[in-house]
Amino acid sequence: MRTNSSVRMAHEYDASREAFERLTQIMCTEVSIPVSDRYNATYREKDLHHSLTLLCMENRYAESGMKRLAIEASSSSSSSARVPSGSWVRDTISKLSEDNAINKSERALDSTLRELGRYGIFNEPVVCAMDKHQVPRYDEGMDRFLTRGRQKDGTMKFETYATLQCVEEGRRAQIACTHVRILDDNADVIAGLLEQARLQQIDVSFLLLDREFFSASVIARLNKLGQRFLMPCKLTRGIKEAIKEYAQGRRKRVSAYSLVPSERRETGPFNLVILPRKGFENESDPLKRYIAFATNIPRKFVMWNVRRLPDDYRRRWGIETGYSGIEGFRARTTSKNHSLRLLYFYYALILYNAWLLANLIIARKFSKILTRPIIQMQTLKATIHTIVVASFGG
């Protein structure tokens, strides 16, 4: 007699397999990468995407990952397994132009959103967070593909992506992505991501941002778009003075404020909200005792629920879960080929959405509302690993 545990594992396997099958169909359709069309060709496009999926799932480099796959496929088959080499995978992808890689990857990401949308997770407006994901680079020169940033992991050069992610439990989908170049303006990047969401008919009701985006141009653009937002303020000279005024009783908790940049005409008006930091109640320095937020929520609504703002912002940290998930699905490479690196990153986003899809499939099967993952990431990885190995084992 099968135990409840084994029955649950079987259901999780079935849901993971179904999500993988849908993923493979999407990738073969939207990210069509030419391979040999000869009738006796050794490998087909499906083999390429199965290889890519496994490399991403296991965070492997192409050569070592494909060698390991060849060993496992041979061990599971009575006949000799035919597994492509890492160089074949890399070279095949590298034939794509950079623009082609971006366009195909964006279409595939959009297709995963449509699959997720079939489960109703975008029927209501969503709370989203936007942030930048920096992949350390150690190139000798400064490529146009790279950006500079604060030193991290021994480098100040990064391959940078901005992503928009839903941060609500049960529908934490990767919604939009763009590669960021060194001269890209944050306001343009944010507007582009929101436009991608709009094109997928996803209504972003509230946008949570990091203080990196605290600028007049960003706030002015969000106001122009009518996008509600919340972000902590940078401690500029003016914000420091405002916090001190509040501590002295000369400024209200919620007050009008505007950033006026010297180099531009556009201003960034917003409501400044000053709240006590938890755990710093006895701190004598007001700059440590209080935290300032910028928002364009109408003042009357801010006043009505002002103490919820820190809790609302804490939702943003759901994006950290998303980023750890992205890293859990990103293949590694030392190649400088832009198309390869772009595809690897987008593949990670798409696999993250496949994980959410698997959870939605099993939740619907048991008529449950998804509030947290039922299928853990490692379960999905183990299932897909088994399927891919078997597909090459003959």
Q: What are phi and psi of 225, to 5 degrees?
A: -80, -10
pLDDT in tens, 102-137: 999 999 999 999 999 999 999 999 999 998 999 999
How sure is the predictor about 77, in pLDDT bands with cuts at 50, 70 and 90? low
Contact by Cβ (8 Å): 287, 303? no
Lowest mean pLDDT among 36-40, 45-49, 222-226: 36-40
> Which structure tokens are listed for 375?
């299928």
Other Cβ atoms less than 10 A from the Cβ of 46: the count is 14
How sure is the predictor about 1, in pLDDT bands with cuts at 50, 70 and 90? very low
List Cα–Cα distances, 356 to 6, 20, 104, 172, in angstroms: 22, 11, 21, 7
Q: What are phi and psi of 148, to 5 degrees?
A: -110, 150
For the whole model, what pTM was predicted?
A: 0.91
Helical H runs in the chain? 4-30, 45-57, 62-75, 86-94, 98-117, 186-199, 216-225, 237-247, 286-289, 299-304, 309-314, 318-328, 338-365, 377-393
Task: Report whether pLDDT(78) > 70.
Answer: no
pLDDT in tens, 161-209: 999 999 998 999 999 999 999 999 999 999 999 999 999 999 999 999 9
Contact by Cβ (8 Å): 232, 291? yes
Span between the terminal Cα atoms of the chain, in Å: 32
In terms of Cβ atoms closer than 10 Å to its own Cβ (0-12, 13-18, 19+), residue 311 is exposed
Q: What is the mean pLDDT of the chain?
A: 90
pLDDT in tens, 322-369: 667 788 899 999 999 999 999 999 999 999 999 999 999 999 999 999
Share of the chain above pLDDT 90, in %: 73
DSSP SS3 for 205: strand
